[in-house]
A and B are shown apart, each in its own frame.
Chain A
Amino acid sequence: EDQVTQSPEALRLQEGESSSLNCSYTVSGLRGLFWYRQDPGKGPEFLFTLYSAGEEKEKERLKATLTKKESFLHITAPKPEDSATYLCAPAISGGYNKLIFGAGTRLAVHP
């Protein structure tokens, strides 16, 4: 059975305090792994896609990495505006990008 686990469930950081979010997955036929950001009351906003182990992508203070069993979202020197829920979603094979979402990590960055 396809499973995605994100940890921690919630994370509180001080502004400037770097940390990492974890996404562990067990899926059949990984086609890629997607990271999204979701603000309260809004739909998920696309951040990154990673396709193969060892791949890294960066955007501002965020860097996503991928191994065969996990993905990490590293947040460097976060700011309060980085506060959101971060969702990880492996895409499994089956003719299209079927995404299996984790429950997310709620990040709160305090000044």
Chain B
Amino acid sequence: GAGVSQSPSNKVTEKGKDVELRCDPISGHTALYWYRQSLGQGLEFLIYFQGNSAPDKSGLPSDRFSAERTGGSVSTLTIQRTQQEDSAVYLCASSGGELAGDTQYFGPGTRLTVL
């Protein structure tokens, strides 16, 4: 597609439930990033995927958070047993297109609300 897409755009869930957030990167981009943006805060790095290499998971805040990237394209961020402090906007970015160098291009985000 023309840009990074994310789904759903909004997700409301109850505390303790699991959620899955999806990211479709720009076609041809080999690198994919997940960030979290809490109200009034800067973007917080969560995880980085590059091709078939082992991901950099150093930003995941707890073992309730996990992510996978299938076939080097679509990625899913899973949050298990959600807590109210998980409420935030989750942003996905991709980079590495032929002309784009290392610039990260962001999707519109998924707003997660945990009640």
A residues at B contact (CB < 8 Å): 4, 31-32, 34, 36, 41-46, 49, 87, 89, 91, 96-104
**A45 x B106 contact (CB < 8 A):** yes
Residue pairs across A and B with Cβ atoms less than 8 A apart, 19 shown, are A4-B42, A34-B103, A34-B104, A42-B108, A43-B106, A44-B91, A44-B106, A87-B42, A87-B43, A89-B43, A91-B102, A96-B48, A96-B56, A98-B45, A99-B104, A100-B45, A101-B43, A101-B44, A104-B42
In the complex, what's the smallest C-beta–C-beta distance from B59 to chain A, in angstroms?
9
B109 lies within 8 A of chain A by Cβ: yes
Which applies to chain A's interface (DSSP): helix, strand, loop or mixed? strand
Chain B 45-57 near chain A by CB (<8 Å), digits 1 or 0: 1001010000010
B73 lies within 8 A of chain A by Cβ: no
Which applies to chain B's interface (DSSP): helix, strand, loop or mixed? strand
Q: Which residues of B contact A91 (CB under 8 A)?
A: 102
**B43 x A97 contact (CB < 8 A):** no
**A96 x B108 contact (CB < 8 A):** no
Q: Give B50's nearest chain A residue, CB to CB.
A: A96
